[in-house]
Amino acid sequence: MRKQPDMTDAPTTRTRPDTLKLGTFVYTFGFHPAAWLHPGSDVHGANDLSHLVRCAKTAESAKLDFMFFADSPASAVGDPAALCRNPTKMNRFEPITAITALSQHTSRIGFVATASTSYYEPYNIARLFASADHIAKGRIAWNVVTSDHDETGYNYNREGLAPHAERYERGQEFIDTVFGLWDSFEDDALLLDRTSGLYYDKNKLHTLDHKGKHFQVRGPLNIARTPQGRPVIAQAGGSEQGMELAARTAEMVFSLASNIDRNRAFYADVKGRMAKYGRDENDLKIMPGVVVNVGETREEAEAKAQALVDLMHPDVGLLMLQEFLETDLHGVALDEPFPMDRMPEKAKGSKAMFAELKDFVSQGHTMRELITHYARQHTGNGLIGTPGQVADFMQEWFETGAADGFILMCPTLPSSLEDFTRLVVPELRRRGLFRKDYEGETLRAHLGLSTPPNRYAAARAKG
Ligand SMILES: Cc1cc2nc3c(=O)[nH]c(=O)nc-3n(C[C@H](O)[C@H](O)[C@H](O)COP(=O)(O)O)c2cc1C
């Protein structure tokens, strides 16, 4: 392979026996709000599966672990003049439908679909994901969210969101119920015996009979146990309840890659909670999301990131900035120094980012400059560089207990994903950090996750 300019001669000895896990995050056009305007995305992609098929095939040929479909069961809310310039959440496929279709165009890569415990019933989710896992021959994961945006509630008989603690309480009972339903049939329950006329062994089909605070579900689930035993469980909650739920039930946790020390602490905290649930730390993969802008040279990578910032309309930047600062900035002049009294006391997101923005405006920058600066910080995430630099970042996080792998928040799809697979994947392989081929046929096999035993079979085996 041609040596990349600026590529570091990083050590090739591995300090961990396993290798990086890599998934790609899917917003139709890419993670950047201006991605749909960029020639490297597909403007028809929101309603044309062939766009996602191209992304899936690219990711699969690079042997990535999975594609992850984020979702919320509501359109975004905000200034209509900004929303019509930022279509990501306004026009997109429902993820379980999309991944089921995509599984028929691929054979190895896994798929993660987001679905909310606040707005489905457990029987629906158990059935949808079990069907998808059968159709995909064991390559499906459910990203469990409780939903954290008010707008979702208005579509489901509510005035906004239920309180956080109530959402998590319902979420926990929801997952337990789904797990119970997925165990309805034991692994070897199907006899398919035309001679005896027995399709299944009636002693290996179980009725859950769940009666809890939030749900009453008799069961059994009307589909056989899935090829993975059950679909893989992903989560992204960052709160105390979110971390506890993850330690108890999740097999992948998505976080944000903001700062290595903070991520190391998060990694140790969540994994440290697993033992009390009788779980092994290797049965949970912590995967921070990173925005990667990679180029053959640092300048080329910078130019790619800047091209997207330049494409973004100020109304869209303002919408994002207001969401981060949780304040209304309408009426602030675009081209005059930003008035410090319009800066809130605190923001809901990253404290470090907030401090950085405050510092920026205190130097006399204008609102337009602040919008651009925030967009750059928010969508750049520090990972702008050569393949060697991107690999250095991933290696350090992986080898020092901050991550088991990464979710690639590709700024544009498919072009940034194609850049990553062409430029960074070979460098990760050169360092022995990433697989050359899939280890197995299922998503569990790619991730090195064990198959949870069927509870009834396990109880019988115990005697
Ligand atoms: C990488 C990442 C991806 C996420 N994807 C989704 C998503 O697709 N849908 C959703 O409703 N929430 C998503 N979230 C939000 C989380 O589910 C969660 O609500 C949020 O991290 C706040 O955590 P908490 O509710 O424990 O405070 C995501 C969070 C992260 C860090």
Pocket test for ligand 1, best of 114, 116, 147, 175 (most atoms within 8 A of CB): 114
Give nearest CA residue, ligand 1 atom 28: 236
Residue 74 is classified by DSSP as S
70 alpha carbon – ligand 1 mean position (Å): 9
User: What are the residue ranges of CATH 3.20.20.30 in the chain?
Assistant: 21-296+386-462
233 backbone dihedrals φ, ψ, rounded to 5°: -105, 125
68 in Cβ contact with 53 (< 8 Å)? no
Scanning the structure block, which residue is given the tokens 């090195």? 448
- The reported pLDDT for the residue numbered 1 is 33
145 alpha carbon – ligand 1 mean position (Å): 6
130 alpha carbon – ligand 1 mean position (Å): 23
- Residue 331 CA: distances (Å) to CA of 318, 322, 359: 11, 12, 22
238 pocket-lining for ligand 1 (C-beta < 6 Å): yes
How far apart, in whole angstroms, are the C-alpha atoms of residue 26 and residue 9?
32
253 pocket-lining for ligand 1 (C-beta < 6 Å): no
Pocket test for ligand 1, best of 92, 94, 145, 255 (most atoms within 8 A of CB): 145
- The reported pLDDT for the residue numbered 50 is 98
- Residue 48 corresponds to which amino acid? D
Per-residue model confidence as pLDDT tens digits over 293-311: 999 999 999 999 989 989 9
How far apart, in whole angstroms, are the C-alpha atoms of residue 328 and residue 309?
22
What stretch of H or E contains 355? helix 351-362
Give nearest CA residue, ligand 1 atom 18: 237
CATH number for domain 21-296+386-462, candidates 3.40.1370.10, 3.40.190.10, 3.40.50.2300, 3.20.20.30 = 3.20.20.30
Cβ atoms within 10 A of the Cβ of 271, count?
A: 21
Q: Which two tokens stand for residue 47?
A: 């309603």
258 pocket-lining for ligand 1 (C-beta < 6 Å): no
244 pocket-lining for ligand 1 (C-beta < 6 Å): no
Q: What is the b/e burial string over 17-55, where b = at least 16 CB atoms within 10 angstroms of the residue's CB? A: eebbbbbbbbbbbbbbbbbbbbebbbeebbeeeebbebb
255 pocket-lining for ligand 1 (C-beta < 6 Å): yes
- Run means of pLDDT, 10 residues per run, the chain, 463 residues: 42 75 96 94 97 98 98 91 93 98 98 96 98 98 90 89 90 97 98 98 98 98 98 92 94 87 94 96 95 95 91 89 87 91 79 82 92 74 88 96 96 97 98 97 97 96 88
339 alpha carbon – ligand 1 mean position (Å): 32
Per-residue model confidence as pLDDT tens digits over 418-454: 999 999 999 999 999 999 999 999 999 999 999 999 9
- Residue 238 corresponds to which amino acid? G
Within 13 Å, how many C-alpha atoms sit on residue 145's CB side? 19
Give nearest CA residue, ligand 1 atom 27: 239
242 pocket-lining for ligand 1 (C-beta < 6 Å): yes
